């Protein structure tokens, strides 16, 4: 497998609820992490005193973050609306040559910043808010 270009890791949002996703404008860096909690079922009968885990029983979640240049595009306005209205619409995360993660996410933080002689920037943080699907590319 060849080295992948970081700019190909995309975050997309469903702007209108119709299943048509658009790339969030201005992003320069995107990150996704998957988490699975464990359920410890260790008992006195556990072989050799080793910890035992219950397969597939823990809560699974995903976190997405992104940072970029503020463009004041339709996707910027939609992100603000999602945050202030407490919505949890569909998002897609495109992982190049790996797959697409899709499902509901809640925007948990939006930060805007700017310096006197530089561009206006923003950062987003999202948390999964339901079942996610993965489609291999």
Buried/exposed code over 35-47 (b: 16+ C-beta within 10 A; e: otherwise): eeeeeeeeeeeee
pLDDT of res. 122: 93
* pLDDT tens track for 11-53: 999 988 898 999 998 899 999 999 999 999 999 999 999 999 9
pLDDT of res. 1: 60
CATH topology of domain 6-136: Pnp Oxidase; Chain A (2.30.110)
pLDDT of res. 101: 96
Integer Cα distance of 4 and 29 in angstroms: 14
Nearest to 28 by CA among 1, 8, 4, 47: 8
């Amino acid at each position: 497998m060849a080295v992948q270009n970081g700019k190909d890791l995309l975050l997309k949002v469903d702007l209108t609820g119709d299943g048509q996703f658009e790339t969030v404008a201005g992003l320069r860096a995107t990150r996704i992490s998957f988490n699975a909690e464990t359920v410890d079922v260790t008992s006195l009968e556990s072989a050799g005193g080793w910890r035992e885990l219950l397969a597939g029983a823990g809560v699974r979640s995903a976190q997405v973050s992104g940072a970029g240049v503020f463009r004041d595009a339709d996707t910027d306005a939609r992100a603000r609306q999602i945050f202030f209205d407490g919505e949890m619409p569909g998002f897609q995360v495109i992982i190049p040559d790996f797959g697409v993660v899709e499902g509901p996410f809640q925007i948990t933080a939006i930060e805007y910043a700017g310096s006197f002689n530089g561009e206006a920037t923003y950062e987003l943080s999202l948390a999964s808010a339901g079942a996610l699907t993965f489609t291999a590319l």
